[in-house]
Structure 1
Amino acid sequence: MPTITLLTRIQADKSIVFNLSRSIELHLISSKKNKEKVVGGRKSGLIELGETVTWRAKHLGVYQNFTSKIIGCETDKYFADEMTSGAFESFKHEHYFFEKNDCTFQIDVLEFKSPFGVLGKLVDFLFLKTYMANFLKKRNETIKEYAESEKWKEIVLIA
């Protein structure tokens, strides 16, 4: 099962980073290139424990729906989402937040498994792991951009 671990250093308050990471609007901004939109579940604001969101986006030339559910949440420290339906056999994304030297560090741990057995493993190895890592990096660059400026106030009302 491929695992992507990504560390992002952000010069901002941990609660701002945590809330931007749960923001439906911020996710849509970061995934504009994929023509992403919300088609079900939580449609705006900050997603909470037990809630779901269904995204529709164009990835690798194909429109796909992906539904995830928030399966764990500890304010300003951690949250996790897991796919309940979509193109993967399994998909879990954990988000950790900690502060050090006036910075927030966001750690993403993404584990996924493609369907189709050996063929899926080959796809993961050849390009999908890199594609997913780049998608996460773009998302985190957007979080960083908004958190390190006053732009976060456009997205998160209370931090």
Structure 2
Amino acid sequence: MFCFEVATLVLAPPSVVFDTSLSVELHTSSMRDSREQAVAGVTSGRLSLGDQVTWRARHFGFTWHMTSTISAYVRPSYFVDEQVSGPFRYWRHAHTFESTRDGESGVEATLMKDIVEFAAPAGPLGVLAEALVLRRYMTKLILLRNAHIKQTIETTVR
């Protein structure tokens, strides 16, 4: 199993960043390169506790489906999405939102943290795939998503 953390400073209050992070439309627009779409469950709007969504996306030349559920939800500070079914042996993505101030401008900001834990299927081959490809690839996807969230919010809020 692999775990990584990404921290992103967004110049907006935690409630705005929290709500935006749960938007199905924002998620799909942030993952447009992989043509990710919500195809079952909650397919539009803002996700909340207990909601399930099935995502369809293209990665590594293959179409994948993953159903996840919002398993924890404390607005505006924390939520977790976990795979119910899909390509991973295990997938858990915790999102935290801490109120802070931008050091340069003093503007109200949010320190958004993503803690992602996952395990590939296929035993030893999956462990090899994690080490050679998936760790870097999954980190890149979260960084892209966070950059999109940051840009969307900061462009809208300002």
**TM-score, length of structure 2 as denominator length:** 0.94
Equivalent residue pairs, number: 152
Give 2:74's aligned residue.
74
| C-alpha distance after superposition, 1:14-40 (max 9, x if no partner) | 111101110000001000000111110
Match of 1:103 among 102, 109, 112: 109
Q: What SS does structure 2 have at the residue aligned with 1:149?
A: helix
Deviation at 1:13, TM superposition (A): 1.5
Match of 1:123 among 126, 129, 149: 129
- Using the alignment, how far apart are the partners of 2:143 and 2:72 within structure 1? 22
Alignment of 1:1-159 (within 5 A): 1-101=1-101, 102-150=108-156
Q: Which runs of 4+ in 1 moved over 3 A?
A: none
Structure 2 vs 1, CA of residues 44 and 151 (structure 1 numbering), >3 Å: closer, same or farther?
farther
**TM-score, length of structure 1 as denominator length:** 0.93
| C-alpha distance after superposition, 1:79-126 (max 9, x if no partner) | 001000100001000000001122100010000000111111110000
C-alpha contact 2:7 2:113 (8 A) present in aligned 1: yes
Deviation at 1:9, TM superposition (A): 0.6
C-alpha contact 2:12 2:157 (8 A) present in aligned 1: no
| Counterpart residue type for residue 77 of structure 1 | S
Unaligned runs of 5+ in 2: 102-107
Q: What is the percentage of aligned positions where both structures have the same residue?
A: 38
